[in-house]
Amino acid sequence: MFPLMLDVTALAVVVVGGPGIAGRVAALADHGCTDLHVFCPAPADGWRGKITARWPDQSDFDAIRPKLVFVSDVDDEHAMMLHSQARISGALVHVQDRIPLCDFHLPAIVRRGHLQVTVSTDGTAAGLSRHIREYLENAVFGPEWAARVDEVALARKRWKQEGLSMTALAQAIADLIKTRGWLKKP
């Protein structure tokens, strides 16, 4: 698997499934997805996106032309059909817990402001990823990291305006981290 951070703010994204898709819908909306299409026969109140209370068909995928499709909480036969329909429309597809039907896998994420630390087992041990993520959230990257990222971003912007080379910029960031004692070695 090739790791990649993807800007979903301008992508058409489809989420399909049962009530268990609520977390995926919320995460995509929280990451700024504005062209979010949700298909669920029994959607919950408060979901964001364009909600359709039924399963999608090929005409929906053809009309929306999604770049990403997430499928969960469906049986194997339905999952294979949805995967096929989405791929015909040109989308990359993730079908939860069905590795052969996934074009990509989703890492466990620690998010602190603009800092995102991800953990992945290439979809083979999702439970392990979750436990590592929880450890990182609790023991390594606490809430204070959001402000630290903002501090480095402002300093980096100032240093770039001062004309620092990429090498000097990297050293200035390393020096700031060391001075603040943020990444102490055990």
Q: What is the pLDDT of residue 37?
A: 95
pLDDT digits (tens, 9 = 90+) for 164-179: 999 999 999 999 999 9
Q: Residue 140 CA to chain centroid, in angstroms?
A: 20
Q: What is the pLDDT of residue 68?
A: 97
Q: What is the pLDDT of residue 123?
A: 76
pLDDT digits (tens, 9 = 90+) for 67-105: 999 999 999 999 999 999 999 999 999 999 888 999 998
Give the residue among 140, 17, 14 at the shortest CA–CA distance from 68.
Answer: 14
Is the pLDDT score of 186 beyond 70?
Answer: no
Give the residue among 124, 126, 16, 26 at the shortest CA–CA distance from 73.
Answer: 16
Q: Is the pTM of this model over 0.85?
A: no
Predicted confidence band of residue 118 (pLDDT cuts 50, 70, 90): very high
| Residue type at 112 in one-letter notation | R
Give long-range contacts, CB 8 A cutoff, 24+ apart: 141-145: 141/110, 141/112, 141/115, 141/117, 142/112, 143/112, 145/112, 145/113, 145/115
Give the residue among 161, 119, 162 at the shortest CA–CA distance from 140.
Answer: 119
Average pLDDT on 129-156 reads 94
Q: What is the pLDDT of residue 91?
A: 97
In contact, 35 and 46? CB cutoff 8 Å: no
pLDDT digits (tens, 9 = 90+) for 1-57: 788 889 999 999 999 998 888 889 988 998 999 999 999 998 877 787 889 999 999
Residue ranges per structural domain of the chain: 1-106, 107-142, 144-180
Characterize the bridge pairing of strands 35-39 and 12-17: parallel
| Residue type at 79 in one-letter notation | A
Tell me the CATH class for 107-142: alpha beta
Residue 85 to residue 79: CA distance in whole angstroms: 10
* The domain defined by 1-106 carries CATH number 1.20.59.20: no
| Residue type at 71 in one-letter notation | V
